Amino acid sequence: MARRPGSPVAAGAADGSTQQQPETIAPDDQGARPILFPAVVWVAALTLAGCVPAVADDVVLAPWAAGLWALAGIGLAVARLATGGRPRHGDARSTRRLVAVALAGAGLGLFAWLTSLVAWLTLQITLGGRAGAPSLALAGAVAGAVLGWGVGRLLNGQRVRRRLLLGGATLLLSALAVLFVVLTGPRDLSRYPDPAASPYRLPWTPGVPRLCVQGNRAVVSHRAGEEFAYDFAMPVGSDVCAARAGVVCRVDTGHDGNGPGAPNNGVLVDHGDGTFGGYYHVRQHGSYVRPGQPVRQGERLAASGNVGRSLLPHLHFEVTDEEGRTLPVTFADVPTDAGVPRMFGRYTSGNGP
């Protein structure tokens, strides 16, 4: 437990030698003022935010969690400013400090959200993708609480350490943002067909919004021969619908479990023009169709899953040529982003009858 002058614990030691510390602290002494209240708010907010995607067993709600993390950071920063070092009226430094502290709080919030997402993915991988909502919620809560406590301790430390922490986090986030923009996403949009004339629609139930967790030329995979593939997060058992009409030419749903070398399940649909639609990671025995069966656009193909080389419950969709190389495709029901779903973008299917 942190040493807290004047707290009931210190006063209650009551062996006669305990001294009551003076309550007044210099307003500008950022290091000494207890931050119990903002720390409690911070930990509670992080715990809540860590639980949101976990309870949903899906990263669809991750942007909401990101917003909560950022709010938690800003809340902490404002509370910190309010409890320690009250800005003097007409002091130019106080405005600068308000902006700096709010920015630092938001940055820390985003950093905390990334940490919880990594913790969640690690748990999914460790438990073979079958971690239930309660254990994921617990992991999110523990990660949030530990992180909140750690950050609270650091912020309450000396100025040099705080500046090093904030500077390091800012540099790291900036570098990640630059790398993300430069190294990922569609390389050349002129290679993609016109979305208004596209024969493809998003491969799930109409009206449902889903998060694209990996787009074309992405971070984890979808490079080289897989460059034009898409990953859409969806809870295990969600309906996977045909993006385009065709004839089912392969169904392989005998496998279970996931990991780096785990065999994959998939359904392949022949579009009749030398292109094939592939739907992967579907649930064991989860196919609703059989080879040779014609399917209409929007028809239910399979139940989604988390099988094969998969980190989280999602559908991997790709269109390939006869050699199995992925081809650039657009979706007629994606009115934004030139019809090309982007990583961390949310898209609503219009794949109705």
- Residue numbers of the site for Zn ion (CB under 5 A)? 229, 231, 316
Nearer to Zn ion, 195 or 215 (CB): 215
Nearer to Zn ion, 80 or 314 (CB): 314
State CA 2 to chain mean position distance.
Answer: 33
Nearer to Zn ion, 229 or 312 (CB): 229
Count CA within 13 A, CB hemisphere, residue 222.
Answer: 28
Nearer to Zn ion, 283 or 316 (CB): 316
User: What is the spatial distance between Cα 238 and Cα 304, in angstroms, rounded to a whole number?
Assistant: 5
CA neighbor of 75 nearest in space, from 37, 33, 38, 32: 38
- Overall size of the chain counted in residues: 353
- Please state the closest distance from residue 340 (CB atom) to Zn ion, in A: 15
Strand-strand pairing, 266-270 and 246-252: antiparallel
Nearer to Zn ion, 51 or 218 (CB): 218
Unique residue bearing structure tokens 């509370």: 79
Nearer to Zn ion, 226 or 333 (CB): 226
- Please state the closest distance from residue 104 (CB atom) to Zn ion, in A: 35
Give the distance between the most distant pair of CA atoms in the chain: 90
Strand order in the sheet with 346-348: 294-295, 246-252, 266-270, 276-280, 314-320, 230-233, 209-214, 346-348
Handedness of CA 62, 64, 70, 75 (dihedral sign): negative
Which residue number has the CB closest to Zn ion?
316
Query: Hey, is 96 helix, strand or coil?
Result: helix
Residue 284 is which amino acid?
Answer: Q
Nearer to Zn ion, 101 or 318 (CB): 318
304 within 8 A of 231, measured Cβ to Cβ = no
